[in-house]
Chain A
Amino acid sequence: MDTPSVSQQRVTDLLTRWSEGDDAVLAELTPLVYEELRRLAHRQMGAERPDHTLQTTALVSEAYLRLADQTNPRWQNRAHFFAVAARAMRQILVSYARSQRAEKRGGGALKIELDEAALVSPEESKQIVDLHEALETLATLDSRKAQVVELKYFGGLNYDEMAEVLKISPVTVRRDWRFAKAWLHTQLHGRGLTRISLIHTNEPRACMKIRDNSCNSCLAFFV
């Protein structure tokens, strides 16, 4: 059996530091988790189970067991591990969706189209990229809400797990989610003036003309 490429102690240290509030370690932790998820996904797709549909929770759990030191297991670390996995899966999906969209626009001069039994439909790709970009804006306004969406949508965490990671009550998580969902829905599906006025509160009337995702009058770009 192959072994993880990094030491368990290192991952445990990083997880502990992150749970203590050191956000800088996330940059180091995410690629480790990302790589392990990929390795595990491939190992699990062995010849013995061709119809295999991987259960993501099981996949992330196994990655956690392999990467993190189990001698002193703490649920908190495990929840944080899932949070890192959510970040990793967001990166995986967004980069995939972006590459799909780039191809659709005819990005490569030399290219062979493959069967379009597409993994992610064009609509899904668009939603993922739009959501990702709107989340970046949301993070500048209220980073915790952006995190709630990342954990739930990209990571599949439930309210209790999110409460654990974010050190807030499940009730607060639900409130955050409801507001963030409404806000994101307005950003992605709202129309015209309303959508723009959220960004340009001073000049709502200047933004009446909208074309191709940008405002014709003030040249503002939709988020």
Chain B
Amino acid sequence: MTPARFQTIEEIFLAALEQEPDQVSAFLDTACEGDAVLRREVEALLASDQRAGRFIETSSVGLATKVIQNQQADSLVGRTIGHYKISESIGTGGMGEVYLATDITAGRKAALKLLPLRFTGDAERLKRFQQEAHAVVGLNHPNILTVYEIGEDHSTHYIASELIEGETLRQHLTRGRMELSEAVDVAIQVASALAAAHNAGIVHRDIKPENIMLRPDGYVKVLDFGIAKLAEHEVPGNDADETKRCCWLRPISAPYWEPFVICRRSRRAARRLINAPISGVSAWFFTKW
């Protein structure tokens, strides 16, 4: 394709648009002068013109704004936050950015999650989150990601936790089905983590394969306890009516809701049932295997 050819196609295309519908074919016969390939190209474009509808009509500036909002103002690599020196970015998502960092005081590696400002801007919500997060710091269970510290440095809120090598259950599942015995092993470890958390009065709120890490040595670690709480009641954007109807649920990952999260009315009642989250996990496992 040369620019000249492109221009020829455009001229015929625009002229064809001016024709009455039943005249287009005859017009193309004349305009393309027997060049079948040229004619096919123009016809394809005319068909696209009919079909395109809203294609790229909605500007992406809203998306760009969301991305800008979610990113940290500057690259943080090399900087020190609290007593953590950041060495590289290891992940990003709706809930913030995660960095590989070194705890200068303790001399160990850590994962540092920085919470986006849009989640921490609400003082009340942040306070509730911090209360729960501090409870998670107190949890000591082999299947729960050990949180070292919840901190703040110049209004940057962070969660420092142990660094886990391995992959998420989601990544693992994309490579194929798991053996039943392996799946059961993972399920037992996840259930064990949730049971321990529930005994301490902590609800995960967002159990799903992305929040479950598999270590090479077979240990399963559940991540992100209580973080979903921070995102609750987030005011939806103006882009989707669907999210407006259920805005209080929006940040949570629908297919894996624990039952009491699904039904707000029954939440208080379900909280009293110690095995409620376990049924959520089992529901999820039966859909997977």
Q: Which residues of A contact B (CB under 8 A)?
A: 37-39, 41-42, 45-47, 49-54, 56-57, 59, 89, 92-93, 96, 99, 103, 106, 108, 110-120, 124, 128, 131, 140-142, 149, 152-156, 175, 178-179, 181-186, 189-190, 193-195, 197-199, 201, 204
- Kindly state whether residue B273 has any CB partner on chain A within 8 Å: no
Interface size range on B against A: 35 or more
Q: For B228, what are the chain A residues with a Cβ–Cβ distance below 8 Å?
A: 115
A146 to B135, CA, bound (A): 54
Interchain CB contact under 8 A, B121 and A50: yes
**Which one of A51, A99, A181 lies within 8 Å of B235 (CB-CB)?**
A51
Give the A-B pair count, Cβ closer than 8 A: 212
Q: For A201, what are the chain B residues with a Cβ–Cβ distance below 8 Å?
A: 1, 5, 37, 41
Q: For A179, what are the chain B residues with a Cβ–Cβ distance below 8 Å?
A: 10, 13-14, 45
Interchain CB contact under 8 A, B123 and A113: no
Interchain CB contact under 8 A, A181 and B56: yes
Q: Which residues of B contact A (CB under 8 A)?
A: 1-3, 5-7, 10, 13-14, 17, 37, 40-41, 44-46, 48-49, 51-52, 55-57, 59-74, 90-96, 98, 100, 111, 113, 117-118, 121-123, 125, 164-165, 167-168, 170-171, 174, 206, 208, 210-211, 213, 223-224, 227-228, 231, 234-235, 237-238, 250-253
Closest to A141 in B: B6
Interchain CB contact under 8 A, B95 and A117: yes
Interchain CB contact under 8 A, B67 and A56: no
Q: A106-B171, A182-B45, A190-B44 are in contact. Are A113 and B5 (CB under 8 A)?
A: no
Q: Name which of B68, B91, B92, B253 has the most chain A CB atoms within 10 A of its CB.
A: B68
6 smallest CB-CB distances across A and B, nearest first, come from A114-B93, A117-B94, A50-B122, A51-B235, A50-B121, A156-B59
